[in-house]
A and B are shown apart, each in its own frame.
Chain A
Amino acid sequence: MRQVVLPRVGTVAAWRREARALAAAGVPAEEVIWSVGGASGDLFAAGGEGRTGALPRTPEYFRQEEAGTRLRLPKAAVDTIESAMCHSDRERFARGYRLVLRLSRGEAVWGDRADADVGCVLRQAKAVGRDIHKMHAFVRFREVEGTGARRAFAAWFEPEHNCVERGTPFFAKRFGDMDWVIATPGVTARFVEGRLSFEETGDVARPPEDATEELWRTYYASIFNPARLMVKAMCAEMPKKYWKNLPEAELIPGLVAGAEARVRQMAETAPAAVPHGRAEKVRERTRALLAEAEPDDALGRLHREIGACARCGICPKATAPVPGEGPVSAELMIVGEQPGDHEDLSGRPFVGPSGRLLDESAEAAGLDRGAAYVTNAVKGFKYAPRGKRRIHSKPDAGEVERCRWWLDLERELVAPKLILSMGATAAEALTGTGKGILKRRGRIEEAEDGTPVLLTMHPSYLLRIPDAGRAEAERAAFREDLGAAARLLQGMA
């Protein structure tokens, strides 16, 4: 039997070193008795020379190393096992060493929860993780007198496991500009001038209360909603064992006891029959404040009306209707199908991928998009939600028909000389039918009022063609249609 005594500070690091040496020497798990205590961490300061382990680095040690097991573990396993070594279970070191040997020899598989050792280590690591998490949550600092320019704070905390060394680097990252001490019954962590150190706890006195605690208790009592009393849920997450070091916990019994009466009082408070006089005045002033100024041009007024439309179910589900954009004096009106994701978010037509394709093609074809009035047959984005994305759905005939009201008004106001209709939906709204668009493209038809309508494909259709060769051919045809529109406009001038 070998006796290995681990120090109280630096316990896990020492266990790891010992385990590695013992494994190298081929010492079986059942021959080691592990314990903690006695010597302090200082022994390790000398770079391993003062090891408490049973194996000095003699020639015999190196001969044994060849016979023994070289420890090779998955990275995730090392971290989890080290975490489990902080558990308060006395058997943890023996189990950890046994598991390390078994994993290295391939007798156990990391992650196999059905294996007793793996399962237990995972469970204990989780318990330690939870304890550390609770430490991060429930340590309460009190301000104490500092020595230098930095403010100083101190806390007393009682964790369930030995998690001070593993848990306190978090505080060093968080409170980098102040000095602090976290004392626990076993080990004390000290952070001074940016350096974190550990020592065995000598002084078990709690730091004196500071004035901010009263404010914190005020907050705790006020944020509690008596109408939702759920003591069990609170105790599951804030177990009673932590209460003695939480300044707010002393309020809990009173808050719980008083909750019922407060709820009863709320229930008995009848709504005020007449709201107090000030309220009506405030409401009126608010209405005036929020009222938007009336636009002074007809197109602006039309856009505002479009913005408020709820004639069908599309727009309340989307962000807002997207009116057209462009000069009221435009000679060319470009009509697409409906806004897409980008257009819906920004409230402007053709700003997404289709808009970019339209811009590029128009530029190549010598057509000035900025001079045109660009709009859509349907003003709202119709979609189906798929997780974090919206999938475009085609507006139905009824919706197109209803939204034609707005398109007609836009057409009336802008009175373009030529309309470029992109895609089947636009063709449907402008000429009465969207059928056979592939055959009709490039043709000039007439809108109800006789305005010439040049038909072409929708840019979003061009973006969806998977075959690169065909896509390029279609884009060229699209550019050609845009070029034809530009020539027609020149002819009309």
Chain B
Amino acid sequence: MVKRTLTDKLAILSDAAKYDASCASSGGEKRDSRDGKGMGSSGGSGICHAYAPDGRCISLLKILMTNFCIYDCAYCINRASSRVERARFSVEEVVSLTVEFYRRNYIEGLFLSSGIIRSPDDTMADMVRIARNLRQEENFRGYIHLKTIPSASQELIDEAGKWADRLSINVEMPTEKSLTEFAPEKSAKNIRQSMAGVRMRREESRSGPSFRGKRPARFAPAGQSTQVIVGADGASDRTILTQSAGLYASYGLSRVYYSAFSPIPDPAKALPLKPPPLVREHRLYQADWLLRFYGFGVEEIGGGSGMLDLEVDPKTAWALEHRERFPVDVNRASREELLRVPGFGTKTVGRILAARRRGLVRYEHLKAMGAVMKNAQAFIVAGGWSPRGMLEADALRARFAPQPQQMALF
């Protein structure tokens, strides 16, 4: 085989990494290099240093250490039976790419994942070595996200959490059954146990109260996340969201990422021919937010079919189904009621509650508070505003759904 150049490897191994949705670099430990002895800073909100034409942010150098893999997961471009080009970075190459990119302000840090070579432990050990080198030899204080390898030993995960800001392991599929079907070498139980281990280590590492009363975790300070592939199996949105609710409750995950299964070069036979619409992924994120920040329960989201409405966002869809709970009076309603109004976000609700102490909140104030009035107006009563017949109108849904398009005449 011809020896590959660094550029070739980078092309192959970043191409192989692009199916992971996560690129977050926010949260975690506050660090900087004002002392002049190292490089990098982290903590606070993340920064997206570029956007690719797919609309996704590029915040981290997202690469695989290698795309050789002994697993054969049907949805994955790097599965053992795929005919893609293979490459492998050395530890030093990854470290140097990260440092040089970081110094030029291209990235916030490294997101390292890998195909599994030789054995899970061998692979994980190399990944840990990269993180340790960055921290100890390069004094790198930027962000590191390591994707842990399923079935890697607890000692390696323990060391990974010492160097990395975030650890993640992908649950991949909405149900155990489809995981067994699509990824025969992976075990759902194993993946859950790995997440349980990370949560326990994080809790053990919270020591010494900070002056805000919150005790920060030293182990994987930016928490853990996971990703689930949407549309490869037949799972409904409610099945997917039920799994997420369980994961958030069980392992204190920072995020569950939904990734609409993407067509790949050299697909496996087990995959459906057509990818799901990207808007499904978007609706799942919206619903995920409703679960976490808006007090919705899984059973409230999505209608009888268990599928989210693709035309209308899940909160509006819920409001249209529950018109008897509206209009909500913005001057009297509780926080919980306000959070359920379409067009009101958590910040807007906070501002409304603060403004109510100063006096009557009028319709025209709401826009300045960040409300999307086009969505909200039918569902609220405010100073100088009442929706009158809007709420009862049969055509209310049509105000939100996209206009029907006439079929083109040929």
Interface residues, chain A, CB within 8 Å of chain B? 109, 111-114, 119, 133, 136-143, 151, 153, 155, 170-178, 194, 210, 212-216, 218-234, 237-238, 246, 248, 252, 255-256, 259, 263, 265-267, 269, 271-273, 275-276, 278-279, 282-283, 285-287, 289-290, 307-308, 310, 316-320, 344-347, 383, 385-390
Contact of A140 with B39 in the complex, beta carbons under 8 Å: no
Contact of A269 with B53 in the complex, beta carbons under 8 Å: no
B residues near A255, Cβ cutoff 8 Å: 52-53
Nearest CB in chain B to that of A254: its residue: B53
Contact of A252 with B196 in the complex, beta carbons under 8 Å: no
Contact of A230 with B53 in the complex, beta carbons under 8 Å: yes
Closest-CB distance, B36 to chain A (whole angstroms)? 5
Interface residues, chain B, CB within 8 Å of chain A? 6-7, 10-12, 14-15, 17-19, 32-41, 47-58, 61-62, 70-72, 80-81, 83, 97, 100-101, 103-106, 119, 139, 151, 175-176, 185, 188-189, 192-193, 195-197, 199-200, 245-246, 248-250, 252, 262-269, 271, 275, 278, 292, 298, 351, 354-355, 358, 362, 364-365, 368-369
Contact of B53 with A218 in the complex, beta carbons under 8 Å: no
Contact of A114 with B365 in the complex, beta carbons under 8 Å: yes
A246 and B58 CA atoms in complex are apart in Å by 13
B residues near A172, Cβ cutoff 8 Å: 34
A319 and B197 CA atoms in complex are apart in Å by 10
Closest-CB distance, A125 to chain B (whole angstroms)? 14
Q: List the 9 shortest-distance A-B pairs measured between CB atoms, nearest first.
A: A233-B55, A230-B55, A385-B249, A176-B33, A279-B81, A275-B81, A113-B368, A173-B32, A224-B52
Contact of B50 with A387 in the complex, beta carbons under 8 Å: no
A residues near B252, Cβ cutoff 8 Å: 388
A residues near B70, Cβ cutoff 8 Å: 282, 285-286, 289
Given the interface pairs A276-B81, A283-B72, A386-B249, the reply to whether A218 lies near B7 with Cβ below 8 Å is yes
Of the listed residues B61, B192, B200, the one surrounded by the most CB atoms of chain A closer than 10 A to its CB is B192
B residues near A142, Cβ cutoff 8 Å: 104
Contact of A390 with B15 in the complex, beta carbons under 8 Å: no
Can you list 23 A-B contacts (CB < 8 A)? A113-B355, A114-B364, A137-B48, A139-B105, A141-B105, A142-B104, A153-B104, A173-B32, A177-B38, A215-B6, A219-B61, A220-B58, A224-B52, A231-B53, A233-B51, A237-B48, A267-B263, A286-B185, A320-B189, A344-B250, A346-B200, A385-B250, A390-B250
A160 and B278 CA atoms in complex are apart in Å by 33
Contact of B185 with A229 in the complex, beta carbons under 8 Å: no
Of the listed residues B35, B100, B105, the one surrounded by the most CB atoms of chain A closer than 10 A to its CB is B105
A259 and B263 CA atoms in complex are apart in Å by 13
Contact of A230 with B104 in the complex, beta carbons under 8 Å: no
Contact of A212 with B200 in the complex, beta carbons under 8 Å: no
Given the interface pairs A319-B192, A390-B249, the reply to whether A141 lies near B53 with Cβ below 8 Å is no
A residues near B37, Cβ cutoff 8 Å: 176-177
Contact of A388 with B196 in the complex, beta carbons under 8 Å: no
Contact of B176 with A316 in the complex, beta carbons under 8 Å: yes
Closest-CB distance, A318 to chain B (whole angstroms)? 8
Within 8 Å by CB of B245, from A259, A318, A320, A385, lies A385
What 10 additional pairs, Cβ within 8 angstroms, besides A272-B269, A282-B80, A283-B81?
A140-B104, A174-B33, A176-B39, A212-B100, A225-B18, A228-B262, A256-B53, A278-B80, A316-B176, A345-B250
Nearest CB in chain B to that of A320: its residue: B189
Given the interface pairs A141-B104, A214-B7, A286-B185, the reply to whether A223 lies near B81 with Cβ below 8 Å is no
Contact of A140 with B105 in the complex, beta carbons under 8 Å: yes
A residues near B292, Cβ cutoff 8 Å: 387
B residues near A226, Cβ cutoff 8 Å: 54
A238 and B70 CA atoms in complex are apart in Å by 39
Nearest CB in chain B to that of A265: its residue: B265
Given the interface pairs A227-B263, A345-B199, the reply to whether A174 lies near B41 with Cβ below 8 Å is yes
Contact of A234 with B14 in the complex, beta carbons under 8 Å: no
Contact of A228 with B278 in the complex, beta carbons under 8 Å: yes
B residues near A285, Cβ cutoff 8 Å: 70
B residues near A347, Cβ cutoff 8 Å: 193, 196
Within 8 Å by CB of A173, from B41, B151, B264, B368, lies B41
Given the interface pairs A227-B262, A383-B249, A390-B249, the reply to whether A141 lies near B103 with Cβ below 8 Å is yes
Nearest CB in chain B to that of A389: its residue: B249
Within 8 Å by CB of B71, from A231, A259, A286, A383, lies A286
A228 and B298 CA atoms in complex are apart in Å by 28
Within 8 Å by CB of B119, from A224, A234, A238, A289, lies A289
Contact of B49 with A225 in the complex, beta carbons under 8 Å: no
A residues near B101, Cβ cutoff 8 Å: 212, 215-216, 219
Nearest CB in chain A to that of B177: its residue: A316
Contact of A136 with B47 in the complex, beta carbons under 8 Å: yes
Of the listed residues B10, B119, B271, the one surrounded by the most CB atoms of chain A closer than 10 A to its CB is B10
Contact of A345 with B196 in the complex, beta carbons under 8 Å: yes
B residues near A219, Cβ cutoff 8 Å: 10, 14, 61, 101
A309 and B409 CA atoms in complex are apart in Å by 58
B residues near A287, Cβ cutoff 8 Å: 185
A residues near B200, Cβ cutoff 8 Å: 345-346
B residues near A111, Cβ cutoff 8 Å: 354
Contact of B248 with A234 in the complex, beta carbons under 8 Å: no
Closest-CB distance, B321 to chain A (whole angstroms)? 23
A219 and B48 CA atoms in complex are apart in Å by 15
Contact of A290 with B151 in the complex, beta carbons under 8 Å: yes
A214 and B5 CA atoms in complex are apart in Å by 13
A390 and B53 CA atoms in complex are apart in Å by 40
Contact of B18 with A223 in the complex, beta carbons under 8 Å: yes
Closest-CB distance, A357 to chain B (whole angstroms)? 19
A residues near B151, Cβ cutoff 8 Å: 290
Of the listed residues B72, B151, B249, the one surrounded by the most CB atoms of chain A closer than 10 A to its CB is B249
Within 8 Å by CB of B104, from A212, A223, A231, lies A212
Contact of A385 with B81 in the complex, beta carbons under 8 Å: no
Contact of B105 with A155 in the complex, beta carbons under 8 Å: yes
Contact of B365 with A319 in the complex, beta carbons under 8 Å: no
Closest-CB distance, B281 to chain A (whole angstroms)? 9
Contact of A229 with B39 in the complex, beta carbons under 8 Å: no
Given the interface pairs A114-B368, A269-B265, the reply to whether A177 lies near B245 with Cβ below 8 Å is no
Closest-CB distance, B121 to chain A (whole angstroms)? 10
A390 and B245 CA atoms in complex are apart in Å by 10
Nearest CB in chain A to that of B267: its residue: A271
Given the interface pairs A227-B275, A317-B246, A389-B249, the reply to whether A272 lies near B83 with Cβ below 8 Å is yes
Contact of A175 with B263 in the complex, beta carbons under 8 Å: no
